[in-house]
Amino acid sequence: MVVIKRYSNRKMYNTESKAYITLDEISKLVQEGQEIQVVDHLTSADITAATMSQVLARQEKTVGGIIPQVMLERLVQLSGLTLFSMRESMKAFLDPVAYMSSDITRRLDLLLQKNQIDASLYEEFKKLLLDPDLDPVLIRNEEEEPAASIEEVKVLLNQIDELEKELEKLEQEKK
């Protein structure tokens, strides 16, 4: 993991390469698959999520269209929800089929625990409801951008984790 220290003058220092680093260079590290952590030099607080937000904002400003508007709107809408609700909503948004499968399994497990269905019915329902042939087929226009890869989704979920940590810190400081 590459540790980057951010100083009060907003300069950032890559402790691995022993050189100052820019937001664009941080973006390149992440795109190359490097795991990074940005810490405040004085407090040692983890500010990775805030820095990644700055990287995204910079890319959006210079390139445009990096993050679909609907996703940005959804993030703003979710900001008032609890962290758990926000995370669950983002999972559903990013991978609706996997989220639905997970929710079906969770509900079936609950029915089994409450003895509202027996094990054979549980297996039958699970087989029927999670049949891959029932997954919705997305019809895509050839001119559209390809769907996000699993790695891209993982990166976004990691960023959500970091944002959750940052929000928790802010809530703690508020109290």
Quick: pLDDT tens for 136-145: 544 444 455 6
For 82: left if phi > 0, alpha if psi spans -120 to 50, otherwise beta; the answer is beta
Under a CB-based contact definition with an 8 Å cutoff, are residues 15 and 41 in contact? no
Q: Work out the average pLDDT over 114-125.
A: 92
d(CA 155, CA 90): 13
Least confident of 73-82, 91-100, 139-148: 139-148
